[in-house]
Amino acid sequence: MPNTSLRDLLKPVRDPDPAHGAPWPRRARAVWIGRRRYAPIHDLQKQLVEARAEGRMGDTILLLEHDPVITLGPRANPENVLLDARALNERDIDLVATGRGGDVTYHGPGQLVCYPLLDLRPDRCDVRRYVRSLAEVMILLAREHHVEGGVVDGMIGVWVDRAAPQEWGGPEWAREIAKVGAIGVRLSRWLTMHGFALNIAVDLRAFELIVPCGIREHGVTSLHELTGRKLTVAEVALASAPQLARGLDMEIPPVEDLSGVADLAGALLAPEAGAGEGRSAL
């Protein structure tokens, strides 16, 4: 098999515009919605995916940070949660079963969570390719902050060399690989839910409460730990349109700040929010 780069794997094949013989533009709206509890946003995702399926909303990307929560995928091993529900409740950490792929994951303040709600039809119906595109976004975001990362065969997510965070030649050259970004997705009818979580300045002690993604032999890190720079999730999210656009190969205008909006569904489904722009993904 030829040595194919991640960038080559992500090149799209687009349907031509029959009127002009040019590709349809792929466009998504990206919004920063601030810090939110997990369960209401999970419900919001399901509502928005249905709206996307019905053409009442265009492709949309939610950017946020969660209040502390441990989530379990459908096939997660409960033993990878190292505290019982009562102990977690005493620490004000939610425990939620969810429909995404993967095992056990922690989300919390200081972590950028990205939920792309996209219709992959007709030209991007490839799960592996979509997952690689999410990894590429995280790699590009880390690079903006002088951290080089990459993917590791058999271990989903984005990894770095904790001993040399400004270099990445692959796991075979790394001295101490550590996970900086996790991926867990769900696709139904080629509509996407869930996404990725990139550790910006999250409290890494929280990962001691779980076996992250079922992987015991490697640690978890953050951009803050690797660089010493104090970054907020908001500043990374609000500046992320170029990396989202390049990684997902879509047109993405500057990220909108909806962090102060209470009725997110109303704001995202309002006619002026882009209902009917679904043509860009058809």
- Domain limits of the chain? 21-281
Nearest 5°: phi and psi at 55? Answer: 75, 15
pLDDT of residue 246: 97
Query: What topology is assigned to 21-281 in CATH?
Result: BirA Bifunctional Protein; domain 2 (3.30.930)
Written as tens digits, the pLDDT of the chain (282 aa) is 334 334 443 344 344 433 333 345 699 999 999 999 999 999 999 999 999 999 999 999 999 999 999 999 888 888 999 999 899 999 999 999 998 888 899 999 999 999 999 999 999 999 999 999 999 999 999 999 999 999 999 999 999 999 999 999 999 999 999 999 999 999 999 999 999 999 999 999 999 999 887 777 789 999 999 999 989 999 999 999 999 999 999 999 999 999 999 999 999 998 755 433 433 222
pLDDT at residue 5 in the model: 39
Residue 75 vs residues 2, 38, 104: alpha-carbon distances, Å:
34, 19, 9
Task: Give residues with Cβ within 8 angstroms of 161, minimum separation 6.
Answer: 167, 168, 173, 174, 175, 176, 177, 178
Q: How far apart are CA 66 and CA 68, in angstroms?
A: 6
The count of C-alpha atoms lying within 13 angstroms of the C-alpha of 273, restricted to the half-sphere facing its C-beta, is 22
Which residues form the catalytic set?
213
Whether omega before 40 lies within 30 degrees of 0, making that bond cis, reads no
Other CB atoms within a 10 A radius of the CB of residue 168 amount to 22
Structure tokens at 201: 């300045």
Strands (E), 48-162: 60-66, 69-72, 94-97, 104-107, 111-117, 150-152, 155-161
Stretch (H or E) spanning 34: strand 29-36
Identify the pLDDT of residue 10: 39
Is residue 266 classed as helix, strand or coil in its secondary structure?
helix
